[in-house]
Amino acid sequence: MDSLTHIALGACIGEAFFEKGFGKKAMLWGALAQSIPDVDFVASFWLNTSENLLAHRGFTHSILFAIIIIPVFALTAEKIHRPHNISFKKWILFFTVEVFIHLFIDGFNNYGIGWLEPFSHARFSFNTIYVADPFFSFWPGIACIVLFITGRYNKARAFWWKFGIIIPFLYLCYCVADKIKIDRDVQTIFASQHIPHQRYFTTPAPLQNWLWYVVAGDDGGYYVGFRSLFDRKKEISFQYFPRNDSLLNPVAGHEDLQKLIRFSRQFYTVEKRNDTLIFNDLRFGQIIGWESPHEEFVFHYYLQQPAGNRLVVQRGRFAKWNVRVIKNFLKRIRGD
């Protein structure tokens, strides 16, 4: 999830663990502990783009990192707040919950997370919720604000930390149910529309959980389309994109190329645009693809111009959004 969501959720969990006066201090510890796996952002200051793609949500999002950082946090908090009546065991439990919830919910986004680093480079991703979903983030955000401005001993605080924790996790369960339904639907559609594929995935389109982005194919190319939970017809209008591996021959020895292929988990295409060779990672969707099937992909990497690849994962994500696009987006969500 996005950083603000982790901060707000962590603060609510801190209040849940340490009520009756200590809660606001624990909220700060919770926000910090929920944020610590994202310390990997500092790697971007010295790694190139392709290296940073693999470093993000890598070791600092691993179980090993959690095992190391949790006692460090617990020892630090225990020492800073002396004298107190909080057992070291409770500090350990608190920071364990905070850090592992961060690792858990990040696994539901489509970026992928390296839980087993450095022993395995496998990335885990359930493709269940968009990385910045306001329907998940709104509740802990509101609860966090209210808890910070409410008196330490106010009885309403118990209501607000529950509000900030329970509702988003109920929504996450709802997203899992959506994912199961979409996957069932697309499997039926693949069979009825004779869509050949060795691999496929479904993941939510931006900012919601009702319109889903669907990619299916093999080493030859991929079929890309969108399906809403409210679509009445059991069909998807697919656009086919050939993978064009032959275009990679001139840059086969490119240092970044193998990293990009590994990062994409084979969901990529290559194209040549104005003499520029472009690597597309399909997992992050198309810019307004639900209304313009031939639109470029959000993640496109200039293989021959590595210096031009800043913010490559979200390149132009909302560049073409305007009032008309938003209206069409809402219509497509409704199944129109």
pLDDT single digits (tens) 233-289: 999 999 999 999 999 998 887 778 989 999 999 999 999 988 889 999 999 999 999
The confidence score (pLDDT) of residue 34 equals 95
The confidence score (pLDDT) of residue 43 equals 82
The confidence score (pLDDT) of residue 21 equals 62
Helix, strand, coil fractions of the chain, as percent rounded to 5 = 50, 15, 35
Distance between CA atoms of 208 and 248, rounded to whole angstroms? 35
The confidence score (pLDDT) of residue 22 equals 75
Q: Which amino acid is at 297?
A: F
The confidence score (pLDDT) of residue 46 equals 83
Residue 177: count of CB within 10 angstroms of its CB: 12
- The answer for 217, left when phi > 0, alpha when psi is -120 to 50, beta otherwise, is left
The confidence score (pLDDT) of residue 307 equals 64
The confidence score (pLDDT) of residue 311 equals 64
Partners of 241 in the beta sheet? 222
Residue 6: count of CB within 10 angstroms of its CB: 25
Look at the alpha carbons of 147, 150, 154, 159 in this order and tell me if their dihedral is positive or negative: negative
The confidence score (pLDDT) of residue 306 equals 66
Look at the alpha carbons of 278, 284, 289, 293 in this order and tell me if their dihedral is positive or negative: positive
The confidence score (pLDDT) of residue 129 equals 97
Low-confidence ranges of the chain (pLDDT < 70): 20-21, 23, 306-308, 310-311, 314
Q: Which amino acid is at 232?
A: R
Whether the CB-CB separation of 13 and 98 falls below 8 Å is answered with: yes
Report the run of H or E that residue 32 belongs to, with start and end: helix 23-35
Look at the alpha carbons of 59, 180, 129, 283 in this order and tell me if their dihedral is positive or negative: positive
The confidence score (pLDDT) of residue 308 equals 67
For the chain, which residues make up each domain, given as ranges?
3-174, 193-333
Whether the CB-CB separation of 224 and 214 falls below 8 Å is answered with: yes
The confidence score (pLDDT) of residue 15 equals 94
pLDDT single digits (tens) 162-204: 999 999 999 999 999 999 999 999 999 999 999 999 999 999 9
Distance between CA atoms of 215 and 186, rounded to whole angstroms? 10
Distances (CA, A) of 308 to 251, 284, 295: 17, 19, 20
